[in-house]
Amino acid sequence: MAKAPTVYDVAERSGVSIATVSRVLRSPAAVREHTRERVLAAVTELGYVPSAAARGLAARRTNVIGLFFPGHDETVPDQPVDSARGDTVPIVDDDSDTASDTENLYFDEVLRGAEIEAWRRGFALMVAAGRGSSREALVTDIAGRVDGLAVLARTVPDELLAYVARRIPVVILAGAQRADDFDHVSASNGPGMRTLANYVLQDHGVHDVVYIAGPTDSPDDAERLTGFRNALADSGVAERNVRILRSDFTRDGGRATAARILAAERPRAILCSNDETALGVLDVLEQRGIRVPEDVLVTGFDGITAGRHSRPKLTTVHQPMVELGRAAVHAITARLDDPNLEPQAFTLPVEVVLRESCPRV
């Protein structure tokens, strides 16, 4: 068996120092393009594979950042995965509800941002999801494999995070900063919803509204509900004169809540705490022949891609989901460089995006 190429071979082939080879492999964006391409060409030609274990021992790091999200509630079928049987390909009717594929797009965008920033800084990304009792064991396990960990607020007990933070940096995603020792990254949820709700209440002059909030354990939702209530006060509308219902941030939940709303008197506007709920509301209104925005205004929050393609296109508050992921990784690497930093809080700006479901007056 041929001897495996080493970093010295790559340096000699590309005509650079060993340190430059290491920089290209760790932080490619930090190296000039011409040099980076020369080194990567040598890596490819030689078939060089860097040893993560060796690098970790040298730097006392894994060069991996962890990202922990809540898991899914779907039941996974308890059956083996079949392999293809010859060249026979079945033809089937599509009876699935493809509209439900929007679920968890918020997490997809945050993940994409974390991947981008991790790559820029020479880190790999380990992503995990867990629910119920498995969550704490999984977080503890991940913490032993990574240099830093980002978690969604209120998904992991504070006591466990405090234990983990003794060993590695911990960043909390979403929700307002609390009196703790963690770094926090969030979007401007309250002001965003307040601005959008005031646009409906004041610019459109619509006071016959229903607000669909999200789960009570969502830190983002708590801030958005506060923003909505502040808008009611701004507009002189008593909260007792509006309906506030709760759903679960899913499209199916939005459909079910819309059916409840329409079982009573139809409102002039339905404001939703996230886009997926709003898309479910639009589904039901379309099925019942209720025109949007002529009969009912509908708004969301998040700015997921599906809202740009809905019928009608969804007015929303766009939050920088990709930038949330990037900011979380940035906070972790900053604390790795300086463990004595004071706890940081990053609140990213949002913007109201007017589309067909609640157009400009």
Torsion from C-alpha of 355, 202, 210, 186, nearest 10 degrees: 70
Asked if residue 29 belongs to a domain, the reply is: yes
Does the residue 226 lie in any domain?
yes
The pair of structure tokens assigned to 304 is 């997921």
Cis peptide before 191 (omega within 30 of 0): no
Q: Tokens 């909390």 appear where?
A: 172
Are 128 and 179 in the same domain?
yes
How many structural domains compose the chain?
A: 3
Q: Say if residue 204 is in the same domain as residue 127.
A: no
Q: What pLDDT does 143 receive?
A: 83
277 & 262 share domain: yes
CATH number of the domain encompassing residue 140: 3.40.50.2300
What's the confidence (pLDDT) of residue 22? Answer: 83
Do 20 and 128 fall within a single domain?
no
Residues 194 and 311 in one domain: yes
What is the predicted pLDDT for the residue at 306? 92
Domain assignment of residue 135, yes or no: yes
Of 346, 347, 283, 358, the closest CA to residue 315 belongs to: 358
- The answer to whether residue 357 is domain-embedded is no
CA angle 214, 319, 330 (to 5 degrees): 115
Does residue 83 form part of some domain?
no
Residues spanned by the domain of 21 = 7-50
Same domain, 147 and 217: no
Q: Do 148 and 28 share a structural domain?
A: no
Residue 245 main-chain phi, psi, to 5 deg: -115, 165
The whole model's pTM is what? 0.76
Q: Are residues 213 and 250 in the same domain?
A: yes
- Compute how many other C-beta atoms are within 10 angstroms of the C-beta atom of residue 163: 14
- The reply to whether 240 falls in a domain is yes
User: Within this chain, do residues 311 and 277 fall inside the same structural domain, yes or no?
Assistant: yes
Q: Decide: helix, strand or coil at residue 220.
A: helix
Q: What is the CA radius of gyration of the chain?
A: 25
Q: What is the CATH number of the domain that holds 46?
A: 1.10.260.40
Per-residue pLDDT tens over the stretch 55-91: 554 556 788 999 988 765 444 555 666 666 677 787 8
One domain, residues 175 and 217: no
- The DSSP bridge pattern shows strands 148-152 and 183-187 to be unpaired
Q: Does 86 fall in a domain? A: no
Instruction: Please tell me whether residues 162 and 194 are part of one structural domain.
Output: no
CB 109 within 8 A of CB 69: no
ω into 157 cis (within 30 of 0): no
Domain shared by 165 and 200, yes or no: no
Rounded to whole angstroms, how far apart are CA atoms 151 and 110?
11
pLDDT at 99: 46
Low-confidence ranges of the chain (pLDDT < 50): 1, 57, 73-75, 98-103
Residue 58 maps to a domain: no
